[in-house]
Amino acid sequence: MLHRDLREQNRRSWDAVVPAHHSHRPGLAAFLREGGLTVFPEELELLGDLAGATLVHLMCNTGQDTLSLARLGATATGVDISGEAVARARELAEQSGIAARFIQADVYDWLAQAVAAGARFDRVFCSYGAICWLPDLDLWARGVADVLSEGGRFTMIEFHPTSNMFDPAWRFSRSYPSGGRRLEIDGVGDYVGASGEGLTPGGFAAGTQTFQNDEQAHLFQWGIGEVVTALALAGLRITTLREYPFVNGERPFTEMRALPGRRLGAPEGSPELPLMYGVAAIRCATATATG
């Protein structure tokens, strides 16, 4: 089921939180304009050389990573469900002087329209908290395959499902996420403010304080095996699957251990666990078409 009503509610939740996130990043446009990048080495390694490549960044949020990839040579398009996020992304592109196109659309609607229009890209990219918004992995994966050029590369980097088995105090408390189980949350939170400088390489500002999102949100829980299987069944050849014992930028647990490069590891004294994973896949000539 595609749960269009829940996806629309999720759009409202994202629209509500975007101004709070934005309030913590006053120096972001200048940071990008001066050559800074918000992406991390892990996603760049998976993406490969971007010079001259056409790229679509699905669920791009407010566009800073899209613009960073454009800075590295991609002809970049960002797609996001939130009108507030896309407005900020367009503003950021103008203020930073980096060219990119941003489209406000639900990811399923955009993929269907792009396939129907015959659009093709050398790279399709998604990252950090994207998979949990997808109620149907197979339909999404087929859309991804169908907008890739032959030989094009899909790249994603994502929070590891194992990390979702712990509560914020790093207590083992939940089953492994799988099966698209629905999870209702109070609303998308101000994780940018909670992460401090981790998600604000252009400088952190206190900004909005004690943000409360009154728009509930609905997540869908998937395991790594389900994600990789959906991509493979869509005709993509998996070339890389990596797991990382740290997380980039965001602070999902209260007592995380600071590491170089805006990375965070498990709390001091805790066993290391994978906290992120990355996938790269190639569209082969035999990729299944959805028409």
Interval 66-108: pLDDT, tens? 999 999 999 999 999 999 999 999 999 999 999 999 999 999 9
Q: Does any domain span residue 290?
A: no
Q: Does any domain span residue 289?
A: no
pLDDT of residue 236: 98
Q: Would you say 199 and 142 are in contact if contact means Cβ atoms under 8 Å apart?
A: no
For residue 44, the enclosing domain spans 4-283
Q: Does any domain span residue 118?
A: yes
Q: Does any domain span residue 17?
A: yes
Tokens 């949100």 — which residue? 217
Q: Would you say 198 and 251 are in contact if contact means Cβ atoms under 8 Å apart?
A: yes
Q: Does any domain span residue 95?
A: yes
CATH number of the domain that residue 18 is part of: 3.40.50.150
Residue 290: pLDDT band (50, 70, 90) is: very low
Residue 157, H or E segment: strand 148-159
SS3 289: coil
Q: Does any domain span residue 78?
A: yes
Interval 44-74: pLDDT, tens? 999 999 999 999 999 999 999 999 999 999 9
β-pair partners for 276: 159, 244
DSSP single-letter state for residue 186:
S
Query: What does the angle CA 169 – CA 175 – CA 179 come to, to the nearest 5 degrees?
Result: 130
Average pLDDT over residues 117-128: 97
- Sign of the alpha-carbon dihedral angle for 239, 259, 250, 77: negative
SS3 55: strand
Give the total number of structural domains in the chain: 1
Q: Does any domain span residue 288?
A: no
Q: Does any domain span residue 195?
A: yes
Secondary structure of the chain: what % helix, strand, coil (to 5)?
35, 25, 40
